[in-house]
Structure formats: structure tokens, C-alpha cells
Amino acid sequence: MRDQSRRTPTATLLLGLVLTLASVLAYSWYISRQISGLRQLQTDLTDRNRRDSLQLLRIQGDLNQLALAMRDMLDPDESYPVGAWASQFERIRVDLDEALAQQESVAVARRTPEQAKYLQGAVAQFWDAASRIFDLANGGHEADARAQVRLSLQSRQAALSTTVARFLVQNNESEAQTAARVQDIYAAVQRQVRWFLLATLAAIGATGIFLIRSNLRVFRELASLSDDRRELARTLIETRESTLREIARELHDEFGQMLTAIGSMLGRAGRQAPEGPLRADLREIAEVAQAALDNVRGLSQSLHPSILEALGLGSTVDWYMTTVRKQLGLVVHYERTPELPGLAAGADIHVYRILQESLSNVARHAGAAEAWVRLVVVDGTLRLEVEDHGRGLQSGGARRGLGLVAMRERAALVGGQLEIQPRREGGTLVTLSVPLASQVTLA
């Protein structure tokens, strides 16, 4: 245990430092790849911007065709009625709608939602006005239809042309500005990344060296403190057991003998007293004294079972299993190896205390009415298992409980290992494993 407590994580820290440096180098390579990817993305955005401009030019061409058609409609030398241009308007409308849809899917210019809505609304209003004009023409109101073309439709077409032209100017300006700015940003980012990586490598190297030196010193101190703490824990546990042993002996010898003598005197006085109320009172007092004697003996055994030294761990656990239901209200299903090898002097009491504390935790915290106790020998190891099907461990409970801390210390004192694990089906399994190879086998 001492060798393990003094083991320092220097090798692990060195490995972590190497991995960190490798991670930084990998990050550098990753950043370079990302910058290359961003440059490619910028190229793609420029391409989309150009496609957006092409669609805007297509829309502008459709608007120009509408302007020429409206000029012909208003030409006084033109003999065709207004309704004759309906099919041409419909053809242009189909192409314009398709161009608007494609332009919206590739648009990358910095336009506000109001601008996009304005273009869509203006186009819709233009076609609504055109439909009304053709309805007037088809209804025989040729002059009114031409007047509406001159007053409404041409102004709407001019507004649309102006908006599209403005979008084209924005696209051109945005493309030029974006290309120049992105290139500047990429160059600045690359410079900053290089400096950052150099600074990070230097900081990691210095920090790693400082951390290793500091940890060597800290873990040397922790190893010393751990040895002192373990020795203190051993002393406290031994002092507690010695105190409980003395109290149990005093209860058994002094109070037990005193109550036994009182019971004998009361019995003798009761036999000598005449029949009547006095004899009945003496008999009742003798029964109370006998009950007190039984309680004192039970308390004495609970504090320190004297049969542990006389009969060994197996018989002591057998006796304790008969008292659990009365003391803790638990139904215990118990099994053990028929012949248990003896443990080193003083080790039996620690195994017994771990069993007591485990069942006490089941009764107080698990919310279970039953428990399963197994005391067996497996592959040269004494194995104690205490299982319940209750609520299981609460978050952080295994670390905070003083009883569990004492259980772990006792397991360490006998060279064993204590595991407290939640069961998959619910509940908790406490397992104590004590290797018998390091124990002294009693005859």
C-alpha cells in the first residue's frame, strides 16, 4: 500500500505533455486546412454572386422587352388592339417568374428583407395591373386600357428596372469588396495563427515543466501525508475497538455480575417470603432484573462480541445473523463456506465491523426489508458480499458517509479491497475481498 500511495503521475504527465504538443501541431494543420477551405468557399460565393448578377440581367432583359411591348401598344400608328399583346406578356411573365425564382436561390448580396419583399411585391402589382388592363381591353374599353398602360404600367416597369439595376450595382460592389476583404482577413488570420501556435507551444512547454516539478514535490508531500493519515486511522480504529472491548467487558463482568447477584438475592428472598403480595412483587422485580441482565449482555455482545476470540469469524457471523432481524428489522438470507480459514490476529473484527456497517446502511438508507449476505472463500480469497434490492446509492453518498470511509479504512488495514457498486436491477452490492495468502492461518 505504501508503494502505491507514493507513486507519482510524472510518467502520465509527460505522456500528456507529448499528446498536448502533438494536438497543437495537429490543430495547426487543421487550421491551415480550414483556411484553405474558407478560401474555396469564398470562391464559391463569388461564383454565386456572378450567377445572381446573370439572373438580374435576365430579369432586366425581360423588363426591357415589356417596355418595348408597351411602347408599341401606345404607338398611334400601330393597328393592333391592346389585347393582341396578352400572349407576349404571358410569355415574358413565365420567363420573368423563373428568373426571379433562380435569382432568389443564388442571391448572396447584402439585401434587407424589405428590399426582397419590395421586389416581389412590385412584380406582383405589375402583373395585377397588366391583368386589369387586358380585362379592360377585352371588355371593349380600348382607350381606357391604353391610358392605364401610359399612367400605371409604364411607371411600374420603370420602378422595377431601377430596382434591378440597383441590385446589379450592389452585386458588383459587394463582389469586389468581399474578394478584397476576405483576402486581407485570411492573410491576417494566418499570421495570427502562426503567432498563436508559437506562443501556445512555448506556454505549454513551460507549464508542463513547471507542472511536473511541482507535482513531484506535491506528491512526495501527499505520500507522506497519506502514510500519516493511514497510521492515524489505524490508531483511531484500534483505540475505538479497545475502548468498546473494555466497555463490553465492564458491562458483562461488573453490571452483569451485579444484576446476576441481585437476581439471586431476589429469588432467595422470594422463596423465603410468605405467600402473598410481597412474594409476587419480589418475583416481578426478579423478572425485571433478568430482563436488564439480558439487555446488558446483548449490549455487551453488540459492542464487542466475545465469541469472536473464542469461536472465530464464522461462528460470530452465524450468531449475528440471528440478531439482525430484532436489531435492524431486516430479513437476511445468509450463506457461508462451512469451514472458514482463520485470519491474522485482529483481522476478524474488521471484517465483522464491515458487515455490521453494511447491514446498518441497508436498514437506514436502502429502504429495503431484505438483504443477502454471503461469506465464502473463492480462489484463496475471503469474500464477504452484502446485497440489497433497495433504492441504491445516492449521488455522492459513497464519498461523504463517515461509515463508508471507516469501512474502506478497515479494508485497507487487513490488506483487502472494498467495492460498493449499484446493481443493474436496483439496489447495492458491497463486496469485501481479503486475500488469505497474506493472512496467518489459525489452528
Per-residue pLDDT, averaged over 8-24, amounts to 71
Single out the residue of 422, 414, 334, 341 nearest to residue 380, CA to CA. 341
Q: Which whole number is the average pLDDT over 14-40?
A: 75
Last residue of a domain, one of 213, 247, 267: 213
**pLDDT value of position 374:** 92
Which of 213, 244, 276 lies at the terminal end of a domain, its last residue? 213
User: Is residue 114 situated within a structural domain?
Assistant: yes
Please state the domain count of the chain. Answer: 2
pLDDT at residue 441 above 50?
A: no
User: What pLDDT digit, counting tens, does each position of 64-75 carry?
Assistant: 888 888 888 887
- Residue 224 in any domain: the answer is no
How many CB atoms within 10 Å of residue 230? 16
Percentage of residues of the chain with pLDDT beyond 70: 80
Beta 381-388 vs 331-336: how paired, if at all? unpaired
**220 in any annotated domain:** no
Report the predicted TM-score, pTM, of the whole model to 2 decimal places. 0.47
Which region, left, alpha or beta, applies to residue 195 given φ > 0 means left and ψ of -120 to 50 means alpha? alpha
Q: Are 81 and 140 in contact (CB under 8 A)?
A: no
Q: What's the confidence (pLDDT) of residue 10?
A: 66
Has residue 184 been placed in a domain?
A: yes
Please report how the helices 347-361 and 402-413 are oriented relative to each other, as an axis angle in degrees rounded to 10.
150
* pLDDT at residue number 372: 92
Q: Is residue 271 part of a domain?
A: no
Instruction: Give the burial class of 55: count Cβ atoms within 10 A of its Cβ; 0-12 exposed, 13-18 middle, 19 or more buried.
Output: buried
pLDDT at 264: 75
pLDDT at position 373 is 92
Q: Of the ranges 76-90, 111-125, 231-245, which is most confident?
A: 76-90
Q: Are residues 180 and 313 located together in one domain of the fold?
A: no
Who wins on pLDDT, 91 or 198? 91
φ/ψ region of 367 (left if φ > 0, alpha if ψ in -120 to 50, else beta) reads: left
Residue tagged 475471503 (cell numbers): 382
* Same domain flag for 67 and 200: yes
CATH of the domain at 395: 3.30.565.10
Average pLDDT over residues 189-198: 76
Q: Tell me the range of 11-15, 40-44, 72-76 where mean pLDDT is highest.
A: 72-76
* Residues 209 and 313 reside in one and the same domain: no
Q: What is the mean pLDDT of residues 135-149?
A: 84
What's the pLDDT band for 393 if we cut at 50, 70, 90?
low
pLDDT of residue 111: 61
Confidence of residue 248 (pLDDT cuts 50, 70, 90): low
Residue 192 has pLDDT above 50, yes or no: yes
Mean pLDDT of the region 30-39 = 74
Is 225 a domain residue? no
Which among 213, 237, 267 is the end of a domain? 213
pLDDT above 90 coverage of the chain, percent: 4
Q: What pLDDT sits at residue 49? A: 75
Question: pLDDT tens for residues 198-211?
Answer: 877 787 777 778 77
All three cell numbers of 242: 479497545
Query: Is the pLDDT reported for residue 247 higher than 70?
Result: yes
Strand-by-strand arrangement of the 417-422 sheet: 331-336, 370-378, 381-388, 428-435, 417-422
Q: Are residues 190 and 315 in the same domain?
A: no
Mean pLDDT score across all residues of the chain: 77
207 and 312 assigned to the same domain: no
pLDDT in tens, 104-133: 777 655 566 677 677 778 888 888 888 888
Q: What pLDDT is recorded for position 431? A: 92
Average pLDDT value for residue range 132-160: 85
Domain span holding position 330: 308-435
Q: Which pLDDT belongs to residue 256?
A: 63
Q: What is the mean pLDDT of residues 139-144?
A: 84
Q: Which of 225-229, 333-337, 412-416 has the lowest mean pLDDT?
A: 225-229
- In whole angstroms, give the CA distance from residue 110 to residue 112: 7
SS3 annotation, 300-355: HHHHCCCHHHHHCHHHHHHHHHHHHHHHHCCEEEEEECCCCCCCCCCHHHHHHHHH
CA distance 175 to 173: 5
- Cell numbers standing for residue 303: 459492542
> What contacts 24+ positions apart, CB below 8 Å, involve 79-87?
81/137, 81/142, 82/133, 82/134, 82/136, 82/137, 82/142, 82/145, 82/146, 82/149, 83/134, 83/137, 83/138, 86/134
Which tens digits make up the pLDDT trace of 266-311? 677 777 777 767 777 777 777 777 777 667 666 666 666 767 777 7
Most confident of 113-122, 158-167, 194-203, 386-395: 158-167
Q: Are residues 9 and 144 in the same domain?
A: yes
Q: Is residue 257 in a domain?
A: no
CB 257 within 8 A of CB 45: no
Q: Which range has the top average pLDDT, 8-17, 274-283, 388-397?
A: 274-283
CATH number of domain containing 178: 1.20.120.30
Give domain status of residue 236, yes or no: no
Q: Residue 40: what pLDDT? A: 74
When pLDDT is averaged across residues 11-35 and rounded to a whole number, the result is 74
- With DSSP H G I counted as helix, E B as strand and the rest as coil, what are the percentages for the chain, rounded to 5? 75, 10, 15
